[in-house]
Amino acid sequence: MPVAYKHCALQVYAEHYPIVGENLLKAIQDVTGLEENDPVIQAWAKAYGVIADVFIQIEKEIYDQMMWIGFKPFKITNIKQESERH
């Protein structure tokens, strides 16, 4: 799932999903004028929760395969041309 790999590359973590979900629902309410207890908003909340859970699980599997989490400093010790330039 390319989006999950992009999320991992951007260091999106499980704890970010509730924040995004809360703000997404507020934005939908602002645009539609619907209240928090409206069935449409509740449906969006449920759908987002399902999608977020899927991404969290897939991204956990990706993170588990990685050598480390977060940024890691590297020191470049050599630069070598390996192919012809075109």
Q: Would you put residue 81 in left (φ > 0), alpha (ψ -120 to 50) or beta?
A: beta
Torsion of CA 47, 51, 52, 53, to 10 degrees: 110
Summarised one tens digit per residue, pLDDT across range 4-61 is: 999 999 999 999 999 999 999 999 999 999 999 999 999 999 999 999 999 999 999 9
CATH fold, domain 2-65, is Globin-like (1.10.490)
**Domain spans in the chain, listed from the N-terminal domain onward:** 2-65
Task: Measure the CA–CA gap between 44 and 21, rounded to whole angstroms.
Answer: 9
Catalytic residues: 17, 59
Is pLDDT at 75 greater than 70 in this prediction? yes
